[in-house]
Amino acid sequence: MATWGDLVAYVRASYDVIRDEDDEIRVRISYDDRRAQVVVIAREVLDRKEEWVQIATPFARIDQVDLQEVLAEIGDTIVVGGAALMGEHLVLRHSLPLVNLDINEFVDPLELVTGSAELLEEQFTGRDDY
pTM assigned to the model: 0.89
Q: How far is CA 86 from the centre of its chain?
A: 12
Helix (H) / strand (E) element for 30: namely strand 24-30
- When pLDDT is averaged across residues 105-126 and rounded to a whole number, the result is 93
Residue 1 pLDDT grade (very low, low, confident, very high; cuts 50, 70, 90): low
Residue 116 pLDDT grade (very low, low, confident, very high; cuts 50, 70, 90): very high
Tens of pLDDT, residue by residue over 85-100, are 999 999 999 999 998 8
- Above 90 in pLDDT, residue 80? no
Contact 91, 58 (CB under 8 A): yes
Tens of pLDDT, residue by residue over 22-79, are 999 999 999 887 889 999 999 999 888 889 999 999 999 999 999 999 999 999 988 8
- When pLDDT is averaged across residues 13-29 and rounded to a whole number, the result is 96
Hey, what amino acid is at 15? Y
Write down the pLDDT at residue 79.
Answer: 82
Give strand pairing partners of 45. 51
Spatial distance between the Cα atoms of 41 and 39, rounded to a whole number of angstroms: 6
Buried b / exposed e along 63-91 (16+ C-beta atoms within 10 A): ebbeeeebeebbeeebebbebeeeeebbb
